Protein backbone atom coordinates (compact mmCIF):
# COMPACT_ATOMS: atom_id res chain seq x y z
CA UNK A 1 0.00 0.00 0.00
CA UNK A 2 1.35 3.42 -0.92
CA UNK A 3 1.44 6.28 1.51
CA UNK A 4 2.30 9.92 1.35
CA UNK A 5 5.68 10.77 2.85
CA UNK A 6 6.59 14.39 3.36
CA UNK A 7 9.47 15.82 5.30
CA UNK A 8 9.68 19.56 5.91
CA UNK A 9 13.15 21.09 6.11
CA UNK A 10 12.84 24.22 8.23
CA UNK A 11 16.47 25.31 8.01
CA UNK A 12 17.11 28.83 6.77
CA UNK A 13 17.58 28.88 3.04
CA UNK A 14 15.37 25.88 2.35
CA UNK A 15 12.29 26.15 0.15
CA UNK A 16 9.13 27.61 1.68
CA UNK A 17 7.09 24.91 3.44
CA UNK A 18 4.20 25.07 0.93
CA UNK A 19 6.69 24.61 -1.92
CA UNK A 20 8.26 21.63 -0.15
CA UNK A 21 4.81 20.03 0.22
CA UNK A 22 3.98 20.79 -3.43
CA UNK A 23 7.29 19.46 -4.75
CA UNK A 24 7.22 16.27 -2.70
CA UNK A 25 3.63 15.37 -3.59
CA UNK A 26 4.29 16.18 -7.24
CA UNK A 27 7.41 13.98 -7.32
CA UNK A 28 5.66 11.10 -5.57
CA UNK A 29 2.74 11.30 -8.01
CA UNK A 30 5.07 11.51 -11.03
CA UNK A 31 7.17 8.57 -9.87
CA UNK A 32 4.16 6.39 -9.15
CA UNK A 33 4.86 6.22 -5.41
CA UNK A 34 1.41 7.79 -5.13
CA UNK A 35 -0.70 6.07 -7.77
CA UNK A 36 -3.52 7.68 -9.72
CA UNK A 37 -6.61 7.76 -7.55
CA UNK A 38 -4.67 7.73 -4.26
CA UNK A 39 -6.63 9.74 -1.71
CA UNK A 40 -4.61 12.48 -0.03
CA UNK A 41 -5.15 13.62 3.54
CA UNK A 42 -7.39 16.58 4.17
CA UNK A 43 -5.72 19.97 4.28
CA UNK A 44 -6.21 20.17 8.04
CA UNK A 45 -5.11 16.60 8.59
CA UNK A 46 -1.88 17.01 6.65
CA UNK A 47 -1.21 20.40 8.25
CA UNK A 48 -1.60 18.86 11.69
CA UNK A 49 0.65 15.91 10.82
CA UNK A 50 3.37 18.20 9.47
CA UNK A 51 3.03 20.91 12.10
CA UNK A 52 2.12 23.51 9.49
CA UNK A 53 -0.67 26.05 9.19
CA UNK A 54 -3.69 24.82 7.24
CA UNK A 55 -3.27 27.76 4.83
CA UNK A 56 0.23 26.51 3.97
CA UNK A 57 -1.05 23.08 2.94
CA UNK A 58 -4.06 24.64 1.18
CA UNK A 59 -1.68 26.78 -0.90
CA UNK A 60 0.30 23.67 -1.89
CA UNK A 61 -2.89 21.78 -2.81
CA UNK A 62 -4.11 24.74 -4.92
CA UNK A 63 -0.80 24.81 -6.82
CA UNK A 64 -0.91 21.02 -7.34
CA UNK A 65 -4.47 21.22 -8.60
CA UNK A 66 -3.55 24.04 -10.98
CA UNK A 67 -0.71 21.83 -12.29
CA UNK A 68 -3.11 18.91 -12.79
CA UNK A 69 -1.30 16.70 -10.28
CA UNK A 70 -4.25 16.37 -7.92
CA UNK A 71 -7.99 16.83 -8.20
CA UNK A 72 -10.56 17.69 -5.57
CA UNK A 73 -13.85 15.85 -5.75
CA UNK A 74 -15.86 18.02 -3.42
CA UNK A 75 -16.66 16.36 -0.12
CA UNK A 76 -15.24 13.06 -1.41
CA UNK A 77 -11.70 14.34 -0.94
CA UNK A 78 -8.54 15.11 -2.86
CA UNK A 79 -6.91 12.50 -5.09
CA UNK A 80 -3.87 12.05 -7.30
CA UNK A 81 -5.07 12.88 -10.82
CA UNK A 82 -4.55 10.85 -13.95
CA UNK A 83 -1.22 12.39 -14.89
CA UNK A 84 -1.41 11.64 -18.59
CA UNK A 85 -4.83 13.18 -19.12
CA UNK A 86 -4.12 16.19 -16.92
CA UNK A 87 -0.77 16.80 -18.60
CA UNK A 88 -2.32 16.56 -22.06
CA UNK A 89 -5.06 19.05 -21.11
CA UNK A 90 -2.50 21.48 -19.72
CA UNK A 91 -0.31 21.24 -22.81
CA UNK A 92 -3.31 21.66 -25.12
CA UNK A 93 -4.32 24.81 -23.24
CA UNK A 94 -0.77 26.18 -23.49
CA UNK A 95 -0.68 25.37 -27.21
CA UNK A 96 -3.97 27.22 -27.78
CA UNK A 97 -2.60 30.25 -25.95
CA UNK A 98 0.60 30.09 -28.03
CA UNK A 99 -1.45 29.94 -31.25
CA UNK A 100 -3.57 32.93 -30.17
CA UNK A 101 -0.43 34.92 -29.35
CA UNK A 102 1.24 34.01 -32.67
CA UNK A 103 -1.88 35.05 -34.61
CA UNK A 104 -2.22 38.30 -32.62
CA UNK A 105 1.42 39.08 -33.50
CA UNK A 106 0.71 38.53 -37.19
CA UNK A 107 2.44 35.19 -37.78
CA UNK A 108 0.84 32.84 -40.26
CA UNK A 109 0.18 29.19 -39.32
CA UNK A 110 3.40 27.95 -40.98
CA UNK A 111 5.60 30.46 -39.13
CA UNK A 112 3.85 29.66 -35.84
CA UNK A 113 4.33 25.93 -36.46
CA UNK A 114 8.04 26.42 -37.15
CA UNK A 115 8.43 28.49 -33.98
CA UNK A 116 6.66 25.81 -31.94
CA UNK A 117 8.76 23.03 -33.49
CA UNK A 118 11.96 24.98 -32.81
CA UNK A 119 10.93 25.49 -29.18
CA UNK A 120 10.12 21.80 -28.70
CA UNK A 121 13.40 20.78 -30.31
CA UNK A 122 15.36 23.21 -28.11
CA UNK A 123 13.74 21.92 -24.93
CA UNK A 124 13.93 18.21 -25.74
CA UNK A 125 17.20 18.11 -27.67
CA UNK A 126 19.04 21.24 -26.58
CA UNK A 127 19.89 24.27 -28.73
CA UNK A 128 20.69 23.64 -32.39
CA UNK A 129 24.40 23.34 -33.07
Q: Where are the domains of the chain?
A: 17-81, 84-125
Q: What is the pTM of this model?
A: 0.65
pLDDT in tens, 96-106: 999 999 999 99
The number of C-alpha atoms within 13 Å of 83 and in the hemisphere containing its C-beta is 13
Count each helix (H run) and each strand (E run) in the chain, helices first.
Answer: 5, 3
The predicted pLDDT at position 68 comes to 86
CATH class given for the domain over 17-81: mainly alpha
Evaluate if residue 116 carries a pLDDT over 70: yes
Between CA 23 and CA 60 the distance in angstroms is 9
Identify which of 38, 41, 68 has the alpha carbon closest to the alpha carbon of residue 54.
Answer: 41
pLDDT by residue (tens digit) across 10-47? 887 788 999 999 999 998 988 888 888 899 999 999 99
Virtual torsion, Cα 57, 70, 27, 32, nearest 10 deg: 140
| pLDDT 10s digits, 38-85 | 999 999 999 999 999 999 999 999 999 998 899 999 899 999 987 666
Amino acid sequence: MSSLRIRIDDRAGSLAPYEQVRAQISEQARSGALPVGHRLPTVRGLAETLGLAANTVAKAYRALEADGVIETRGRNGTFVAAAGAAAERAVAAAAREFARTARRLGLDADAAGRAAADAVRAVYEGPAA
